[in-house]
Amino acid sequence: MKMYLISDNIDTYTGMRLAGVDGVIIHSKDHLKDELEQVMADKEIGILLITEKLSNEFPEIINEIKLNRLLPLIVEIPDRHGTGRKPDFITSYVSEAIGLKL
What structural domains does the chain harbor? 2-98 (3.40.50.10580)
Collapse the DSSP code of 43 into the 3-class scheme (helix H, G, I; strand E, B; otherwise coil) and give the result. coil
Among 80, 4, 8, 17, smallest CA distance to 49 is for 4
pLDDT at position 67 is: 87
pLDDT at position 38 is: 93
pLDDT tens profile 37-85: 999 999 999 999 999 888 888 889 888 888 888 889 999 988 766 666 6
Separation CA 44–CA 87 (nearest Å) = 35
